[in-house]
C-alpha cells in the first residue's frame, strides 16, 4: 500500500480478524486504538480483533507498507 503525503486510512475496528503493517519506507502517524505514535521504515504494527487503528502519511514522501490480515475461524 502507498499513501501519499497527507493521505491515510480512516480509523476502523477489526472484528474477527487481526491486521499487521510492516513499514517499508516513509513516515506515518499511527492511531493504535486511540494512542498516536510515529512509525517509519522497519516498524511493525499489530491490531488484534476487537481493537482499531488508522494510519496517515506525515512525511514528504509516500508511506509504503505491507498489510497482512489474519482471519479467525
CB-based burial label for 26 (10 Å; 0-12, 13-18, 19+): buried
How many domains does the chain fold into?
1
* pLDDT (tens place) for every residue of the chain, 73 residues total: 999 999 999 999 999 999 999 999 999 999 999 999 999 999 999 999 999 999 999 999 999 999 999 997 7
Residues spanned by the domain of 22 = 2-71
Q: Are 12 and 28 in contact (CB under 8 A)?
A: no
Q: How far apart are CA 1 and CA 26, in angstroms?
A: 12
Whole-number Å distance between alpha carbons of 59 and 25:
10
Domain containing residue 48: CATH number: 2.60.120.10
Amino acid at each position: 500500500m502507498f499513501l501519499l503525503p497527507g493521505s491515510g486510512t480512516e480509523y476502523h475496528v477489526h472484528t474477527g480478524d487481526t491486521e499487521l503493517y510492516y513499514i517499508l519506507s516513509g513516515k506515518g502517524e499511527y492511531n493504535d486504538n486511540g494512542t498516536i505514535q510515529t512509525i517509519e521504515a522497519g516498524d511493525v504494527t499489530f491490531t488484534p480483533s476487537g481493537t482499531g487503528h488508522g494510519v496517515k502519511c506525515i512525511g514528504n514522501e509516500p508511506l509504503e507498507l505491507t498489510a497482512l490480515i489474519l482471519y479467525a475461524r
